[in-house]
Amino acid sequence: MNVTLLSTYDAQGGAAIAARRLHDALLRQGVASTMLVQEQRRAHEGVEAVAKTGWQKGLAFSRFALERAAFFPFEREKSVRWSFSPGVMGTDISRHSLVQQADILHLHWVNFGFQSIEDLGKLLALGKPVVWTMHDMWPFTGGCHHSGTCERYQEACGNCEPFLRNPAPNDLSHRVWLRKQKAYANARLRPVGCSVWLANRARRSRLFGSLPVEAIPNPIDTELFKPLEKALAKRKFGLSPDKKLILFAAANVSAVGKGFMYFEKGLHLLQQQLIDSEGVELLIFGGGDETLLENLPFRYHFLGSLNDVPQISAAYSAADVFVTPSLEENLPNTIMEAMACGTPAIGFDVGGIPEMITHRQTGYLARYRAADDLAEGMRWTLEQSPEAYAQLANNARQYVLANYAGAVVAGRYLSLYESILNERMNE
């Protein structure tokens, strides 16, 4: 069985990392997996790029820029600029050797100039079985990546008030929706949500009609992300083993959707609640505006962007609790990584996060947008007895092993691939 995974990136962003982890997990299961990306950021077994030369990389960047420029005249305001993709720019890879040789094509996140809607239509028109792991809502909306409380995607979009400057029945969102409907017609497509939450939303979209939608989580290598003794992990970063550390991590800490303002508010409330606030410090890694950290009430240690997996794993192990106050999430890699390292996680009750955090068993599930409950979650976790905390940490690790370990997830995809191919043989 030859499987080709398609992803815009191989190492940039959570969706790309999840796709590459699945590729590696499939290889370990003996599947002939390859991964085709727009531009390769890191050398990796079985990963090939469409854009290899400097000229081709320049074209790829031009497609990315033109895709963003195509939305600019329509955007409601600057804050939604990255929340909507019209899918007008891409490159035709339907004749690429890795596509042609595949028994199964497995789409992941393909926006930002890699695949236009029409390019996707050409792939689907090949007649090959196509699995599409959805890392956000874009595959079944009129262009938005997360619709929030808007449910118009269920019918045909249009009147897109959250994202468009001039919402109307036949606005950009409706036109994008119609282009997708045409591209998906008669396709051998099997959508997969990497959270039950996303799969349920996808099932309500008329774009997918009667297509069966699966729910299979993203995988993680539990040998790379595993617990390291906390005192040792803290010393790796020159931190005091006597301090309790609250960890915040995001690719862009200043992105509005990551909810940093709730983290900051929660920390100010926590400082008032703790008996010994001097015994707590912050550990933060990621990109974005570091000046945001200046108003935090606790001493912080900013590690910047981390790319080395052992170093990332050590940072999770060094922390006593991981906090992700994201306002829109599917199945965050960060929660999975923290829990794999035996660090309890705290997050809002939104998207796929409730599927990952079992309240007061593997972490703390806070009320949506409630900074006071976020503070309560941090206080509750930090004040656990050593025995209770050890049980909490073990629960988190065991949950990841049972649900997200590479062999577990790869096995589920392998069963899906085989069932799809068997259906085709029996037609």
Residues 377-390 have pLDDT tens digits of 999 999 999 999 99
Lowest mean pLDDT among 25-34, 208-217, 301-310, 333-342: 301-310
Considering the domain boundaries, does residue 225 fall inside one?
no
Segment 170-198 mean pLDDT: 95
Residues 301 and 412 both lie in one domain = no
Residues 250 and 190 both lie in one domain = no
- What was the pLDDT predicted at 260? 87
Segment 254-262 mean pLDDT: 79
Residues 262 and 302 both lie in one domain = yes
User: Distance between CA atoms of 16 and 19, rounded to whole angstroms?
Assistant: 5
Q: What is the CATH number of the domain that holds 30?
A: 3.40.50.2000
Residues 192 and 271 both lie in one domain = no
Residues 271 and 248 both lie in one domain = yes
Band of pLDDT at residue 67, cut at 50, 70 and 90: very high
Asked if residue 69 has pLDDT above 80, the reply is: yes
* Residues 361 and 392: beta-carbon distance below 8 Å: yes
- What was the pLDDT predicted at 258? 82
The DSSP string of 298-336 is S-EEE------HHHHHHHHHH-SEEEE--SS-SS-HHHH
Residues 81 and 213 both lie in one domain = yes
Residues 128 and 205 both lie in one domain = yes
Element (H, E) at 37: strand 32-37
Lowest mean pLDDT among 65-69, 254-258, 306-310: 254-258
Residues 30 and 121 both lie in one domain = yes
Residues 343 and 419 both lie in one domain = no
- How many independent structural domains does the chain possess? 2
φ, ψ dihedrals at 343, nearest 5°: -110, 115
Asked if residue 256 has pLDDT above 70, the reply is: no
Residues 302 and 313 both lie in one domain = yes
* Residues 120 and 17: beta-carbon distance below 8 Å: no
Determine the length of the chain. 427
Band of pLDDT at residue 290, cut at 50, 70 and 90: confident
Band of pLDDT at residue 170, cut at 50, 70 and 90: very high
Considering the domain boundaries, does residue 391 fall inside one?
yes
**Cβ neighbours around 219 below 10 Å, total:** 26
Residues 201 and 259 both lie in one domain = no
- What was the pLDDT predicted at 254? 65
Residues 399 and 324 both lie in one domain = yes
Domain interval for residue 84: 2-219+406-425
